Amino acid sequence: MNYEAVIGLEVHVQVKTRSKMFTRVEAGYGRAPNTLTDPVVLALPGVLPVMNKVALDAIIKAGLMLGCEIAPVCKWDRKNYFYPDSPKNYQISQYDQPICRGGFVEIELPGSARNVMGEHKRIPLTRIHLEEDVGKLNHETVDSLIDYNRAGTPLMEIVSEPAMHSAEEAFAYLTSLRQTMIYGGISDCDMEKGQLRCDANISIRPAGETKLGTKVELKNLNSISFVRDGIAHEIKRQVAVIQAGGTIVQETRDYDGQTGTSQSLRTKEMAHDYRYFPDPDLMPVKVDEAWKARIKSECPELPFDKQRRFIEQYQVPYTITSVLVPDQELSAFFEEAAKLSGKPQQVGNWIVNDLLRELGNARIGLAEAKVKPAHIAELVKLVDSGTLLSNAAKDVFVEVFQTGDSPAAVVDRKGLKAETNAGELEQWCRDAIAANPKSLADFKAGKDSAINGFKGFIMKAAKGKANPKLVDETLRRLLAGL
């Protein structure tokens, strides 16, 4: 029997703010333990939480970018539980009134080849709400150590509908969601720093069945490839259990990316009872049209929209756009150079091949690079006009990259200007024809490639500075007259 997997993802994304969600102590990562706390974080008696305006702006932006409906009014609830990651014994969250509902994440599945755009799909979202992150427990041999630095960091929970059917789709979903958050400046989504975390709900059912099977929650998917591997592994495990005549038990499993295995986390049969109730310390949030309009005006073009536009407006190949678009800065660099030069394809090639190679070699980011869009545009023009030969242009680019000098200045300094003196070029062509009677005979006999016999001679005479296009034209003109 064939089985269909049904996957829903719960993604937690830390919002990039300076201070915490409900208090103004600094939010940060990688700091000495328990140095980012204050009385609110530690839940000392008498404290009151106060919302972070920027975190609210950020979740509204996330909602608008993902096509969600923004609730006109929403409130805060306490999610009660006992676990030392929360000093309050509750987490401030949103229960029945999330700030965002609906919406979708556009995903792209792998194409038939690397240079072919894959199928696009919309994965519907259930909701996005805002809450506070909890502290981090470090489990040692006999006890656990708590660091509350992370506690209180603004955290969005983005819940998808159970609408994905393969590990590839889940991978594409997470990749796209991450990209969107980064584009919006909402989060850096560094999974190693825990800024994006993912849990997956996975079930299987016989193909064609509409009822959902028993779901298993997979935790600890702490890299995007672990998400893909973990889900693929879980689907296989469930199919094997069913095929062996077993049944799927509702449970939480922990995926170990290093070993590619998962194990059941011992949990009580009883469902969690968090006894949510409205937080009396926090007043509700009211989002009016003006606020939404302001955030809307700050939303950037979505990555896939940009990619479609680049392909249409600049006629650049898919492969080039799939390198440019994930990097907002690089996309802007491309667009500026493309507009300046009017030759977007060439600009795309320079950026994707030469610029990225040099950035990699120098181990620097684009912002630190001395080469500017105007340099690329100038280089493209020099090559296009025949002033600079393609081979030499590669070296010119490296020099521009290293010095920040204009390509024209580098060409002058290195004496790389292609020979365009028509008289001199014609003389070289005549010499070449005279020196190669065999090529001449072959050419006249109809063998077009024999023309190459002359070109080597000319390039040698011109010390590589002759423009191949001009050489070809001149040769053909002279040969036609012979």
Partner 1 sequence: MSTDLNIDHVANLARLALTPEEKARFSAQLGDVLGHIEQLRKIDVSGVEATAHAYPVFNVWADDVARPGLPVEAALQNAPEHRDNMIVVPKVVEGE
Our finding on whether 24 is near partner 1 (CB under 8 A) is: yes
Instruction: Give the distance from CA 168 to its chain's centroid.
Output: 16
Please, which of residues 211-230 interact with partner 1 by CB under 8 A? Answer: none
Q: Within positions 273 to 292, which residues make up the interface with partner 1, using CB under 8 A? A: 273, 275, 278-280, 282-286
Please, where are the H alpha helices in 184-327? 224-243, 289-298, 303-314, 318-324
Residue 298 near partner 1 by CB under 8 A: no
User: Residue 232 Cβ, how far from partner 1 at the closest point, in Å?
Assistant: 25
Q: Is 299 in the site for partner 1 (CB under 8 A)?
A: no
By CB under 8 A, residue 441 contacts partner 1: no
User: Rounded to an integer, what distance in angstroms lies between the CA atom of residue 376 and that of residue 350?
Assistant: 7
Q: Which of 259, 269, 272, 250 is nearest to 230 (CA)?
A: 259
- Does the footprint of partner 1 cover residue 82 (CB under 8 A)? yes
What is the number of residues in the chain?
Answer: 482
From the CB of 142, what's the least distance to partner 1, in Å? 6
CA–CA distance, 269 with 147 (Å, rounded to integer): 30
Query: Does position 39 bind partner 1 by CB under 8 A?
Result: yes
Interface segment toward partner 1; rule CB under 8 A; list 28-36, 104-112, 322-330, 387-395:
28-36
Cα separation of 200 and 219, whole Å?
7
Binding of partner 1 by 387 (CB under 8 A): no
Question: What is the closest distance, in whole angstroms, from the C-beta atom of residue 35 to partner 1 in the complex?
Answer: 5
DSSP output for 391-445: HHHHHHHHHHHHH---HHHHHHHHT---B--HHHHHHHHHHHHHH-HHHHHHHHT
Contact region for partner 1 (CB under 8 A) — 54-62, 192-200, 231-239, 416-424? 54-62
Does 32 bind partner 1 (CB under 8 A)? Our answer is: yes
449 secondary structure, DSSP code: G
153 binds partner 1 (CB under 8 A): no
Considering only residues 127 through 146, tell me which ones interact with partner 1, judged by CB under 8 A.
137-140, 142-146
How wide is the angle at C-alpha 70 spanned by C-alphas 69 and 76, nearest 5°? Answer: 130
Radius of gyration of the chain (CA): 31
Determine the Cα angle at 126 with ends 124 and 131, to 5°.
130
Give the DSSP H/E element, type plus range, for residue 105. Answer: strand 104-108
Which CB, 284 or 464, lies closer to partner 1? 284
Q: Say how many residues touch partner 1, by CB under 8 A.
A: 56
Q: Which of residues 242-261 bind partner 1 (CB under 8 A)?
A: 252
38 lies in the binding site for partner 1 (CB under 8 A): yes
Binding residues for partner 1, rule: CB under 8 A, are: 17-19, 24-27, 32-39, 41-42, 50-56, 73, 75, 80, 82-84, 137-140, 142-148, 252, 265-268, 273, 275, 278-280, 282-286
